[in-house]
Structure 1
């Protein structure tokens, strides 16, 4: 149910980010967006196993009326009576973002951390916060910053550093996640199967950037090394390399 709820919320976020049903270009986010994402994330879970301490007023999409204990990293969310006013201020802060600002990575990192500090809901704040981050990014014209399971520890460490005012690590993490998704999904889709692109744009969990670079150095993968020292290949050539590896495995088994 948790996975299904997150998938439903993700669909809503990317649909609303690209083709919003109602969107004011002067406002990247509204309180309705915040509540809607949490409602999508938590409804299916709540129907099966609601939070044991929740009141009738603390269901999906509704702000908490409980205190939250201090986290292991030392951060303690604000007291619950402050949540409505702090969320109004948070939304107003989001709507001052300038996407072309040289400080944008740190600014979006602070926005993300501040949401986690407010912790407006009784449960599901992490999932809601990450989806809100992506809704903001998409509405600002950026690719989403997808955080994969194997990067979770690094993400949490960066978030803990942001809790003490160091937003650089979290900003860099978010920026790298945006670039990774740009290379992994958007560049290949735009470039087409024959266009030469950096190896990072062609990497998959099966064929990482390192393994593709090694194959290019060995001559096993068709690729061209530019004057900048960077290898470039195409989806077509990588597919041919993948097929040749599969055939070799089949013949040796």
Structure 2
């Protein structure tokens, strides 16, 4: 092999290695946040509604105990700012928190942010439409005072309270449809999917671990579609590699 050709091939291999390594790995990762583990892994036990993630979790047992408290030390967030939530409604918020804190399958929807307690957030996670429908049905007659629970609270006592002049009304006043609830409550962290549970195309808030974690396949599907997986990335890289060879010839 001529020295010039060998040099060009070496440059090509270095370039491919660098660009390949620079691609973010969106699968089986934890959010960069104060209360998440740095890497997912098994837990001997997780409390109640977080238990589906015991085999591979981004949360710890002690954290899972806090998620069910009305005002936990983690975020000092009070779900029951307008009085007691109905038990079936509260169950959905605990499940939502378990998914957010424990799941290692949300990487395709991480977005960088700059806050003291987290460096990433979720954006447009495709939530299964039947999960959203059930959440809305079970909460529609409970009470809240806001349609966006991310911001705008009164934190003067160290936990969230309704802002001034915000009236407590039933959920279906602030969230007239299931989509309104799931899309708006956490500032578009979720985007209700047209798909249902078991489709392999939407994230489930709960699953039976005896049958495996269906969200693993969902995350892989969307990671590949984003161009992060090898099946999507290699054609572009191959084309750029040929262009680089041509320029160096």
Return the TM-score normalized by structure 1.
Answer: 0.31
After TM superposition, the score normalised by the length of structure 2 is 0.31
Please identify which structure carries the higher strand content.
2
Q: Normalized per residue, which structure has more helix? A: 1
